[in-house]
Structures are given as structure tokens and as C-alpha cells.
Amino acid sequence: MQETAEQYIQRILGHVEGQDAIKVQRATVGKLKRLIHGLTAKQMKWRPEPAKWSIAEIVAHLADTEIAASWRMRSVIGENGVTTQPFDQDAWASVFQYQKRDVRRSLEVFRVLRENNLALLKEIPREAWDHYGMHLERGKETVAHLVRMFAGHDTNHVLQIERIVKQLKTKTKKRK
């Protein structure tokens, strides 16, 4: 059964409860670099299950999500109360061929966009953090809420990659 929007929000925010969302976001690129260090392209394209994403797909998803996040945050900051669009992550993964993308290139795209988004957040006036957008699936989301969601989303996928790396190491040990 697919989770509801509210269940998704709670799960994602649960990853960053009690943490500084900006610090979490700032640390993500370094965590990803450490996790993929030493992995081969083949390992990064390995799927733990046919319907589950590979590391390559997850990192490509993070890069594309940061594109969407850039637009969403700027829309909300610039036009309080604006309607914001969801996107179908599985459709994007297929159409934009995440499985074929170079992981390091995806990570670099993510890094550059993330740095720019964090710089933007440093510069906006305090009252802009209360600006909100009306997400078509999740409802009212302030800039502060979006920042926590993006941090939780990062953590969700870092944990997913950690599990895959652990599975890859187990697979490698079994072969020896």
C-alpha cells in the first residue's frame, strides 16, 4: 500500500527530528562522496531488487530533486502563497534514464545546486522563512518546512545508499 502524503511527511521529517536542517543539508554531499568512494560504476548501477533504485539512480534523483527544490524555494520566497507542483520521481527516473547517468556527474550537479540553495537561504530576510507555497499533494509548506523536508529527504536517501553499500560488501565477501 502506498503511503499517504501525511505519512510521507512524517517519515521524512522523522529523519531530522531535533537536528539543524541546514547542517544536515550542508553535510550531505560529503556523506555521499564517502559512501561511493572506491565503488565501481558496475557496483553503483547494481539494484538490490528489480524494483529498487541503484546508487546511480538515487544520486541522479537527488540532483534532479535539487533542481525542483531550487525552483520551489525561489517560487515560494518570491511569491508568497504560490501553488507548487509535485513531480513523479519514477517517471523522471525512467524518462531521464537515471540508471545510465554518471554518478560523479550527478553528484557534482547536486553539489553545485545545493551550495547555491544554501547560499540563498543565508541571504533571505527572516520573514521569508514564513512564506509558503500550496503543494498540490501535501498542502501548505513554508520555506522553513521545505528546508526540513529537503534535509529529511537527503537523510532518507543517504540511509538507502548505506544499506546498498552494506549489501555490496556482503556480496563481495560471499564471493571470496
What residues does each domain of the chain span?
5-170
Q: Which residues pair with 83 in a beta bridge?
A: 134
DSSP strand pairing (132-135 vs 139-142): antiparallel
- Phi/psi region, residue 139 (left: phi>0; alpha: psi -120 to 50; beta: rest), is left
Residues 129-165 pLDDT 10s = 999 999 999 999 999 999 999 999 999 999 999 999 9
What's the whole-model pTM score? 0.95
Residues 47-105 pLDDT 10s = 999 999 999 999 999 999 999 999 999 999 999 999 999 999 999 999 999 999 999 99
If we measure between CA atoms, which residue out of 45, 165, 48 comes closest to residue 98?
45
Domain 5-170 -> CATH class: mainly alpha
